[in-house]
A and B are shown apart, each in its own frame.
Chain A
Amino acid sequence: MQLDAGNTAVVLDSTADFPEGPERFPSWRVVPLYVRFGADSYRDYVDLGPADFYARLREAPELPTTSQPTPADFASAYEDLADYERIYSLHIPRKLSGTWQSASTAAEQTGGGRARVIDTGTVSAGTTLLALAIQRRLERGTTDEEIGELIDRFRAEHHLIFTLDTLEFLARGGRIGKARGMAGQLLHIKPIMTILDGEVEPLKKVRGNRRAFKEFQDAFLAGSGDDPGLRVAIAHAEAPTRLAQLAKLVQATRPRATIEAETTLGPVIGTHAGPGTVGLFWFADE
């Protein structure tokens, strides 16, 4: 089947932190996860935006919890896209969230075989990089095989490095993965982390923000080439200065790269990462 932007839709979940997607592309939809403060449940980005979320996080007596969209949430997004013959539904790793499971259930029960549900192996702006790469191919005409190869290559080759101010949020939400040996440390150590095979994995430990930044610098330089196809995204949680520093770093290190997204981590990812988090994502596309 020949796929193009007119017959193929893209569905993201809200952890892609790309709420403007549907405005930019009429064939895109974003399905929100839920964030709960006590008894109050909010749809990620729809009922509660990042600014209000972080303000509330500072005040809240207990930390929020998150939950995946229901299969019905995905079913209604897929039904809304009834005019499209193919749907690429791109999601946060299944080891980190049940979102992929909900989307798969909905695709099986209502998608009529049109929806391909993908575990992207990445989070936040990383998913946006993949979605934009798919959209570029759709706009010039493509096939399922070509998109399948792109997704495989993205999962194997995209880079993601992030650091947190504290492991408390990750540990409380249970998504700490192999960094759990670092929880409970009394000395303030900044973990430099990535996501590998769908799990959080520590790369290095450093003290101080300046050294953390240097780790980003080294990783970006070593993991990228001087390539006009290099696509970069940056995400932060209440750390606009670090975001600006990273943008400058990218421009200075790889002047031909395109920064495709500079985003705030939304309520759901913010619940698990916490304020002060900053992440850099890159992928050598064509």
Chain B
Amino acid sequence: MLFVAESAEDFQRVPAPRAGTISAVTVLDLARAAEAALEANRARIDDLNVYPVPDGDTGTNMLLTARAVVEALEGGDTDITRAALLGARGNSGVILSQIVRGAFDVLGGVDEVDASTVTQALRSASDAAYNAVREPVEGTMLTAIRVLAEEAEAAGEASLDELLSSLLIRGDKAVAETREQLEVLRQAGVVDAGAAGLVEIVRGIAAHLKGEPLPAAPASEPPSADAVHLETSRYRYCTVYVVEGEDLDSEALERGLVGLGDSLLVVGDPSALKVHVHTNDPGAALRAGTALGILERVEIANMHVQTAQREERLSQSTDVQRMTDVVAVVSGDGNRRLFESLGAAALVDGGETMNPSTDAILAGIEQTRAPEAVVLANDPNVIMAAEQAARLAKTPVRVIPSRSLTAGLAAMVGFEGARSADENATEMKSLLADVSTGAVTIASRSVDMDGIQVARGAYLGLVDGDPIAGGTSFDAVASSVVDRLLGEPRDVLTLITGADEPELGSLLARLAEHYPEIELEVHPGGQPHYPLLLSAE
């Protein structure tokens, strides 16, 4: 934006423009250019935020800091250093305020901006930022400002235009490099949010100095799923799709999705938009897309499982050195999810009715990556095969003789990947001693055991493997099992429902009435043949 003289007097105060310089650029214009650039990129930068803590507001914090400067200047306040400091939000804002201070120490004292003042301003900004931070961390905004200062100093006699272009190229490269400089960024597969924000400010100011409009914010790929999921979402389903069509209106689509959940991203061009949203209603998110065009590449993932898996990957790859993995013999989708979420690395299909072979258990052990393993048998009939597999395995393996799936869950609570298989086995076995397990199954033939008579097809209640009740009423049989399990004082009762999901309403009501102190957990397990598995700890 070039200065337009409105009166002779104004005209006289403007120094004659020199080649390669732009005169009469006000500090306010520069601040506005920075603000506009951050505004356009705020959401993208928020999404990148990982370091130092992933609270997802680096873009917002930088924008608010820039806005404070603009508002102060608009109000006639010329103490930019103070305005930036007062408005600084978050670590990124504080560092930015120091960069602003350093830059305007130089820019505030000149009438025109040329390549040499830009170079001095960057050096001053870099020094101010490094001085403000007690323990500078490379791979952050600090690195970006230092690299820009060095690039400017190396540019020598370049014109302002040339300098600005080379700064942007170097800045973008510096941002890309942050991914390799900080371990936490590398894991998340993102670049540093603060560094990215800083380069956007430079881009905004450069466009302004060249008299060009602010370039459109990059229609970047959404951050990798890992980056998005650094924070656990309150919503369950990560929903991603591409909608193809003509003249697609990304803002309209965004408006239609914004109420459905969080972590919303809509990017692309009028012929194809990529949508990412975390929601409890993926159907509604898909309908918003089908209203506009044809859906492609639809992915709906249950993030509560993703989160568990991601945390698992991270805990394997980083500071916690993983010594031991868990192999669990499990049946039912819900039960598989439960064991995975607790950190089981390999699951072998099987359980109460299908006993896996030694071979299958050995294959599970071989799938694990830790140097040692423990195997949860989860059934009396599996223990021997598990021990056989442990002997055949090339790595140290310990078997936890859990006699039911619910006992196995109780033992998982004591699992700690950083410990050896031996230590884990000791801890996990000790937990087995504190748990009683029960089950409600359906008698496959008429039985008369321990004085309990049950007709074929009726419910049979078991406690620690022994029949204790039978009959045609699920509630009556289940209540007998519960009463037996809670015969001695217990803290937690866990109910796992089977593939034939029983109606639990009256059992739960009875529990609330008779055992108001007990902490109750109910999970869908999906195991065959056992409508209900129980454990009391």
Contact = CB atoms under 8 A, between A and B. Distances in A.
B91 interface: yes
Contact of B90 (A98, A171, A209): A98
B338 to A, nearest CB: 5
B88 A71 contact: yes
A153 interface: no
Of A108, A180, A205, the most chain B CB neighbours within 10 A belong to: A180
A71 B413 contact: no
B314 A184 contact: no
B135 to A, nearest CB: 8
A283 B489 CA distance: 35
Interface in B125-176: 132-134
Contact of A105 (B57, B132, B338, B343): B132
A168 interface: yes
A184 B341 contact: yes
B537 A172 contact: no
Interface residues of A, number: 42
A32 to B, nearest CB: 14
Given A70-B88, A184-B308, A178 B320 contact: yes
A108 B409 CA distance: 54
A33 to B, nearest CB: 11
B280 to A, nearest CB: 12
A95 B337 CA distance: 33
A189 interface: yes
A181 B491 contact: no
A56 B82 CA distance: 34
A189 B338 CA distance: 12
A260 B74 CA distance: 50
Contacts of A96: 53
Contacts of B54: 174
Given A70-B85, A173-B55, A174-B231, A181 B337 contact: no
A7 to B, nearest CB: 27
A209 B305 CA distance: 25
Contact of A178 (B55, B56, B319): B319
Interface residues of B, number: 56
Given A70-B89, A184-B307, A173 B232 contact: no
Nearest to A41: B89
B53 A206 contact: no
A207 B88 contact: no
A116 interface: no
A203 to B, nearest CB: 11
A245 B52 CA distance: 36
B491 A68 contact: no
A104 interface: yes
Nearest to A211: B491
Interface string B317-348: 00110000000000000000110011100000
B491 A184 contact: no
Given A207-B410, A210-B491, A180 B94 contact: no
B337 A71 contact: no
A142 interface: no
Closest CB pairs A-B (n = 6): A208-B491, A184-B308, A181-B315, A174-B53, A184-B307, A174-B54
11 contacts: A72-B86, A101-B94, A168-B232, A168-B234, A174-B53, A178-B319, A178-B320, A181-B315, A185-B308, A188-B492, A207-B413
Interface of B: 52-57, 61, 82, 85-91, 94, 97-98, 132-134, 230-232, 234, 262, 304-305, 307-312, 314-315, 319-320, 337-338, 341-343, 409-410, 412-414, 417, 491-492, 494, 519, 521, 523, 537
Given A101-B133, A181-B314, A184-B304, 12 more contacts: A65-B55, A67-B57, A98-B90, A109-B85, A173-B55, A174-B53, A174-B55, A178-B320, A181-B320, A186-B308, A187-B341, A188-B492
